[in-house]
Amino acid sequence: MATITFQGKPINTLGDLPAVGESAPDFRLTNRKMQDVGLSEFSGKRKLLNIVPSLDTPTCATSTRKFNEKAAHLDNTVVLVVSADLPFAQARFCEIEGLKHVQALSTFRSTFARDYGVELLDSILAGLTARAIVIIDESDRVVYTQLVAEISSEPDYNAALEALG
């Protein structure tokens, strides 16, 4: 269990992020076309998971826009934006924002939030995901993690991008 804050008040996650050096937990997430996709769909590529509570919040929208901009210049890398939003809402958000370099994936019918240790247990955000970055290499090993201490804060983009090399 990890403790972060939301507007300065402590909230807890169900577990901890996957450990650096370990194999990434497999996942089944739902894309904008209502298709389930797993880790193996991105085999041989580096994966940057931008995990956010909801694309309907300003900080989540900002981080998604920023990673979309950066992703256009990343070789052999996919940027996956993971949230509890329904795929319909994710599709609408990405279309309105013109986001072409990120893939939005929904946790709505998966165990991803629990498996990755980001499910929020308390506060009005219970059931959503904490804000986190997980980078997985071409061999599906976790090479970097970042749990954002204050959920309303943006992640450290530079640290995440440096971890990609």
Q: What residues are labeled active site? A: 60
Q: How far is CA 81 from CA 47, 48, 56, 89, 123, in A?
A: 10, 8, 13, 13, 23
Q: Report the largest interatomic distance among the alpha carbons of the chain, rounded to a whole angstrom.
A: 40
Q: Compute CA 150 distance to the chain's CA centroid, rounded to the nearest angstrom.
A: 15
Amino acid in position 148: V
> 19: buried, middle or exposed (CB in 10 Å: 19+, 13-18, 0-12)?
exposed
